[in-house]
Chain A
Amino acid sequence: MAPKESIVQNKIPPAAGGIPTRKDALQTGSSALSKKSGKPSGRKLSRKALLAINVASVAAGVAGWAAVSAAGLVGLPGPVEVLVRGGELLADGTLAEDTGASLARVLSGFLLGSLLAIPIGFLMGWYQVGRAIIEPWVQFFRTIPPLALLPLVMVTMGIGETPKIFVIFLAAFLSCVISTYQGVVSVDKTLINAARVLGANSLVIFRRVVVPASSPFILVGMRIGLGAGWATVVAAELLAAPNGLGMRMQQAQQFYDMPTILVNVLVIGVLGLLMDRLLLMIEAHLTRWQERR
């Protein structure tokens, strides 16, 4: 599947200077029928060709890794060694336990954060007073990396699951609340007027215009929130946890167990990618009504 651009990326204005004009020249020069032109390279590659390049790139990366480890440059274990260790960790159940623990933390924090962020974001966008009350807090906490609150949270909440879930919750909440708020304030006023002249009251406008119109923003916020939550959980586990992918790496580090560290790094990357893709697919499905340029 070709990666779809998120609306956040779409909103980025074209680079200033000479680039847009060059693009324009390319666009008018090529077929006027192809709306999708305007890409830096004039000719469009087929999906298959792009996928083949993706696969080749990954294969080259793995080969490079194997070469570096074979040369014994940085004491890096090779792909095979890491694969074997991965098999061992899988067989003795450690990997499943760690993955489950990390996922459970990130998902509960993410769900709580998003669920709270959506109503709060709506409140901020819909009521000026709500915005005035909430905005300073959001802006303040946004500047603090959630992880930096972990020491404070651990002192107040103890060392159990709660502090970790809380910082993930905060990471997910902050990114989702801002984008929900932006979604609400950027709802097209004409759509609201169109609903009003068709007999909609405030509640109907909210439910049937504001919510769907801001859903693309919310979904992007959720996706960023999940990414932030995943990054946060691993880091939080490095600091203190009885299990989890981050904790396992921290433990392996003490024994110079490079293969285990790499297994966990790979699992973190692959899971992060899978979760992002999953949300991206949900997002593309829910917002397929959007005009995409």
Chain B
Amino acid sequence: MTTPTQKAMIRFEDLRQEFTLSGNTFTALDGVNLDIADGEFVTVVGPSGCGKSTMLNAAAGLLDPTSGRVMVDDREVDGPSTRTGVIFQQYALFPWLTVRKNVEFGLELKKIPAKERREIVDHYLELVGLTRFAEALPKELSGGMKQRCAIARAYAVNPEILLMDEPFGALDALTRVHMQEQLLQTWTKERRTVMFVTHDVDESVFLASRVIVMAARPGRIFKEIKIDLPYPRTEEIRLSDEFAHLRTQVWEAVYHQPGVAEAHQ
């Protein structure tokens, strides 16, 4: 098992997030408390609409919490920071820029000299296997390649934290498994704190050292399940009895939440 250091890299403190839509106040998150350790890989899983993205956006500094706060490295998050990389569900590549220019975007803003930028971009394109597509436009890429480009773009600015919002949600099952393995490989090579949102139970177990199961109405943390499986996660692990057992546990937590029936009343 990984041994994350004791220090909390991301800390949700009693986070509450309300949205007002045409006069109605809606509580998307309520009483969220969570510590994610430095170097830890945590997945967040739960039914659609339970506030997973909201939680991630709050950590990214893209939201203004109604109450409570998110701390990153003991400092309150009050806006986006280059210490935190975000990978959005819809890729969010700049369609008018080539793959190389997309990856370079954050580096230019950091005022890194051109030569060094080139080296960094080459490194990350290599890491995600897009070297041959450096000059391609996003529209020429498949879904999986777009997502890899988004990952390279986020990695390039060297964030300590990666927030990933259902990054593989739009991919077919085969590509998805491949991307999961690649992501873990990259993560092992360049260790970062990762918060990974998904609605796929298998994915949540395969990637994480800890799965956070959420409940809806209001969005809150329902259960934490520790995944005591070693890294690197191999196919054998994926097909093992331990994996199956953990998957059942997470599945039951997601689909048989005792609170669900009451919350729907």
B-contacting residues of A (Cβ < 8 Å)?
188, 190-191, 193-200, 204, 208-209, 212-213, 215, 288-291
Is A290 in contact with B82, judged by CB distance below 8 angstroms? no
Partner of B137, one of A198, A215, A289: A289
Chain A residues with Cβ below 8 Å from B138 are 289
Interface string of B65-108 (1 = CB under 8 A from A): 00000000000000011101110101011111100000001100
Expressed in whole angstroms, the Cα–Cα distance for A188 and B84 within the complex equals 21
Partner of A289, one of B85, B86, B95: B95
Chain A residues with Cβ below 8 Å from B60 are 193, 197
Expressed in whole angstroms, the Cα–Cα distance for A291 and B62 within the complex equals 28
**A204-B109, A209-B94, A289-B96 are known contacts. Are A193 and B139 too (CB-CB below 8 A)?**
no
Q: List 22 A-B contacts (CB under 8 A).
A: A188-B92, A190-B92, A191-B92, A191-B94, A193-B60, A193-B88, A193-B92, A194-B92, A194-B93, A195-B94, A197-B84, A197-B85, A197-B86, A198-B106, A198-B157, A199-B80, A199-B106, A208-B94, A212-B96, A213-B96, A289-B95, A290-B95
Expressed in whole angstroms, the Cα–Cα distance for A208 and B84 within the complex equals 21
Expressed in whole angstroms, the Cα–Cα distance for A195 and B93 within the complex equals 10
Chain A residues with Cβ below 8 Å from B86 are 193-194, 197
- Does residue B153 face the partner (Cβ distance < 8 Å to A)? yes
- Does residue B110 face the partner (Cβ distance < 8 Å to A)? yes
Partner of A212, one of B88, B94, B139: B94
**A193-B86, A289-B137, A290-B139 are known contacts. Are A198 and B92 too (CB-CB below 8 A)?**
no
Chain B residues with Cβ below 8 Å from A289 are 95-97, 137-139
Chain A residues with Cβ below 8 Å from B81 are 197
A-contacting residues of B (Cβ < 8 Å)?
60-62, 80-82, 84-86, 88, 90, 92-97, 105-106, 109-110, 137-139, 153, 157
Expressed in whole angstroms, the Cα–Cα distance for A257 and B32 within the complex equals 84
Q: How far is the CB of B83 from chain A (nearest CB, A)?
A: 10
Is A195 in contact with B62, judged by CB distance below 8 angstroms? no
Expressed in whole angstroms, the Cα–Cα distance for A292 and B159 within the complex equals 34
Expressed in whole angstroms, the Cα–Cα distance for A208 and B106 within the complex equals 12
**A193-B86, A289-B139 are known contacts. Are A199 and B109 too (CB-CB below 8 A)?**
yes
Expressed in whole angstroms, the Cα–Cα distance for A204 and B111 within the complex equals 13
Is B62 in contact with A193, judged by CB distance below 8 angstroms? yes
Q: How far is the CB of B73 from chain A (nearest CB, A)?
A: 16
Expressed in whole angstroms, the Cα–Cα distance for A214 and B183 within the complex equals 34
Chain A residues with Cβ below 8 Å from B106 are 198-199
Chain A residues with Cβ below 8 Å from B153 are 198
Q: How far is the CB of B31 from chain A (nearest CB, A)?
A: 26
Q: How far is the CB of B20 from chain A (nearest CB, A)?
A: 17
Q: How far is the CB of A210 from chain B (nearest CB, A)?
A: 11
Is B88 in contact with A190, judged by CB distance below 8 angstroms? yes
Known: A197-B84, A198-B105, A291-B95. 7 other contacts (CB 8 A): A190-B88, A193-B86, A194-B93, A195-B94, A197-B62, A198-B109, A290-B95
Is B95 in contact with A197, judged by CB distance below 8 angstroms? no
Closest 3 CB pairs of A and B: A198-B106, A194-B92, A289-B96
Expressed in whole angstroms, the Cα–Cα distance for A197 and B150 within the complex equals 12
Expressed in whole angstroms, the Cα–Cα distance for A288 and B110 within the complex equals 28
With CB as the reference atom, state the residue of chain B lying closest to A292: B139
Most buried by A among B96, B97, B106, B138: B96
Is B137 in contact with A197, judged by CB distance below 8 angstroms? no
With CB as the reference atom, state the residue of chain A lying closest to B107: A198
Chain A residues with Cβ below 8 Å from B90 are 190
Expressed in whole angstroms, the Cα–Cα distance for A108 and B95 within the complex equals 33
**A204-B109, A291-B139 are known contacts. Are A199 and B82 too (CB-CB below 8 A)?**
yes
Q: How far is the CB of B224 from chain A (nearest CB, A)?
A: 26
Is B88 in contact with A194, judged by CB distance below 8 angstroms? yes
Chain B residues with Cβ below 8 Å from A190 are 88, 90, 92
Q: How far is the CB of B192 from chain A (nearest CB, A)?
A: 15
**A194-B88, A290-B139 are known contacts. Are A199 and B110 too (CB-CB below 8 A)?**
yes
Expressed in whole angstroms, the Cα–Cα distance for A241 and B105 within the complex equals 53
With CB as the reference atom, state the residue of chain A lying closest to B165: A190
Is B139 in contact with A196, judged by CB distance below 8 angstroms? no
Expressed in whole angstroms, the Cα–Cα distance for A209 and B96 within the complex equals 9
Partner of A196, one of B62, B85, B137, B157: B62
Q: How far is the CB of B140 from chain A (nearest CB, A)?
A: 10
Is A199 in contact with B88, judged by CB distance below 8 angstroms? no
Most buried by B among A190, A193, A197, A200: A197
Chain B residues with Cβ below 8 Å from A188 are 92
Chain B residues with Cβ below 8 Å from A199 are 80, 82, 106, 109-110, 157
Q: How far is the CB of B16 from chain A (nearest CB, A)?
A: 21
With CB as the reference atom, state the residue of chain A lying closest to B62: A193
Most buried by B among A195, A209, A215: A195
Chain A residues with Cβ below 8 Å from B157 are 198-199
Expressed in whole angstroms, the Cα–Cα distance for A190 and B88 within the complex equals 8
